[in-house]
């Protein structure tokens, strides 16, 4: 090969090498640019907010309005996305089951539930838990034996000692009873553990006074209108009732409406929940006692426990909140 040809060939190789180097640099720069753009885009995206569902019985009761208020406070404090779902009524078990099923299929991260029925919700909640969704129980406890048999395990519950609180309310009713007196109980929903516990606590207090005879105990399913009708029936059959324990404030208010409409006096009535309407009735002298069971705090802790469980923290199996009787003597403290 002549020197001239060798020089030409070497020049061509150099040009090709420079061209390849240029292409490589271009690809690197473009790639680096895309990587920087992708990093900027990823940085602009907000971090994942856990989706926590709160399923309650209804929002027609001020008790559950307060529970949602507490849950919303936790939503802000812990940075979660809170989904609130309720059934139409406190006894709408099938509707609540359908709500849980829908939330399960939408793959929320955690589900906090105040079940309307201590048994009926267990199977669908087991399916929820099997998909890795955290389940937290508030207010009305799920039946532990039935839950275990169905395979629903390790569900933390946040509630109160319903029997103890109802006992305290009924004891307030019988403080000055020293002669034969008839008493009655208006119960909640009979498939709910909290309703049964409140009935049991009230009965215990009544039984401790030998002057008291419990002449009836009937359910009104937590509802103000049903309690009005039940009270109407009770006082028609037992006009000498002088003590009436109602398992929640809404039923107590329904009973008070009947007493007022029928001009029935000298009946001491107990409620349970500590609603503002109940406090007004206590101040007016028509309701003797109610129970503050910290509905707002139950909602707050339900969401807080869900976040802690999602972070891998082991939770206590049962958290019992303090209850406080509300009477005319303690009203200003609430």
Least confident of 28-37, 226-235, 254-263: 28-37
Q: Predicted confidence band at 311 (pLDDT cuts at 50, 70, 90)?
A: very high
pLDDT the model gives residue 162? 98
Q: Which residues contact 10 (CB under 8 A, 6 or more apart)?
A: none
Alpha-carbon gap, residue 169 to 109, rounded angstroms: 39
Exposed, middle or buried: residue 260 (CB in 10 Å: 0-12, 13-18, 19+)?
exposed
- Give me the mean pLDDT over the 281-294 stretch: 97
Q: Predicted confidence band at 4 (pLDDT cuts at 50, 70, 90)?
A: very low
pLDDT the model gives residue 30? 42
In this predicted structure, the answer to whether residue 250 has a pLDDT above a threshold of 60 is yes
- Give me the mean pLDDT over the 135-149 stretch: 97
Angstrom distances, CA of residue 229 to CA of 39, 120, 183, 203, 214: 66, 27, 17, 22, 19
CB 97 within 8 A of CB 124: yes
- Which one-letter DSSP state was computed for residue 116? S
What are the φ and ψ backbone dihedral angles of 7, each rounded to 5 degrees? -65, -40
Number of residues assigned to the chain: 334
Exposed, middle or buried: residue 314 (CB in 10 Å: 0-12, 13-18, 19+)?
exposed
- 63-81 pLDDT per residue, tens: 999 999 999 999 999 999 9
pLDDT the model gives residue 48? 78
pLDDT the model gives residue 332? 75
- Residue 180: strand, helix, or coil: coil
CB 112 within 8 A of CB 53: yes
Alpha-carbon gap, residue 160 to 163, rounded angstroms: 9
- 6-64 pLDDT per residue, tens: 445 454 544 444 354 444 434 343 444 445 555 544 444 456 799 999 999 999 889 99
More confident residue, 128 or 42: 128
CB 87 within 8 A of CB 57: yes
Q: Region of 85 please: left (phi>0), alpha (psi -120 to 50) or beta.
A: beta
Q: Predicted confidence band at 159 (pLDDT cuts at 50, 70, 90)?
A: very high
pLDDT the model gives residue 27? 37
pLDDT the model gives residue 227? 98
In this predicted structure, the answer to whether residue 137 has a pLDDT above a threshold of 50 is yes
DSSP β-ladder status, 318-321 and 157-160: parallel
CB 241 within 8 A of CB 289: no
Measured at the CA of 204, the angle between CA 158 and CA 258, to 5 degrees, comes to 85
Q: Predicted confidence band at 334 (pLDDT cuts at 50, 70, 90)?
A: low
pLDDT the model gives residue 28? 42
**What does pLDDT average to over the chain?**
89
């Amino acid at each position: 090969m002549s020197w001239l040809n060798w020089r030409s060939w070497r020049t061509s190789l150099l040009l090709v090498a420079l061209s390849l180097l240029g292409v490589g640099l271009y690809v690197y720069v473009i790639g680096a640019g895309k990587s920087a753009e992708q990093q900027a885009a990823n940085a602009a995206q907000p971090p994942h907010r856990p989706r926590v569902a709160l399923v309650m019985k209804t929002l027609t009761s001020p008790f559950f309005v307060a529970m949602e208020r507490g849950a919303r406070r936790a939503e802000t404090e812990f940075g979660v996305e809170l989904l609130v779902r309720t059934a139409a009524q406190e006894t709408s078990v099938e509707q609540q089951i359908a709500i849980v099923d829908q939330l399960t299929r939408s793959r929320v991260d955690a589900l906090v539930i105040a079940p309307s029925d201590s048994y009926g919700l267990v199977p669908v909640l087991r399916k929820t838990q099997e998909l890795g969704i955290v389940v937290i129980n508030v207010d009305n406890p799920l039946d532990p034996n039935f839950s275990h048999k169905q395979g629903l395990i390790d569900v933390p519950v946040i509630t109160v000692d319903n029997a103890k609180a109802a006992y305290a309310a009924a004891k307030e009713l019988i403080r000055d009873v020293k002669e034969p007196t008839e008493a009655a109980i208006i119960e909640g929903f009979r498939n709910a553990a909290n309703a049964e516990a409140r009935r049991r606590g009230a009965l215990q207090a009544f039984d401790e006074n030998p002057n008291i005879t419990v002449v009836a105990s009937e359910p009104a399913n937590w509802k103000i209108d049903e309690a009005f009708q039940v009270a109407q029936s009770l006082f028609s059959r037992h006009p000498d009732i002088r003590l009436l324990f109602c398992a929640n404030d809404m039923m107590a208010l329904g009973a008070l409406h009947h007493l007022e409409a029928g001009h029935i006096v000298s009946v001491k009535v107990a409620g349970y929940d500590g609603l503002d309407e109940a406090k007004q009735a206590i101040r007016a002298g028509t309701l003797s006692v109610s129970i503050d069971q910290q509905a707002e705090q139950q909602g707050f802790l339900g969401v807080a426990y869900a976040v802690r469980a999602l972070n891998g923290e082991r939770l206590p199996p049962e958290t019992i909140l303090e209850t406080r009787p509300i009477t005319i003597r303690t009203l200003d403290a609430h």
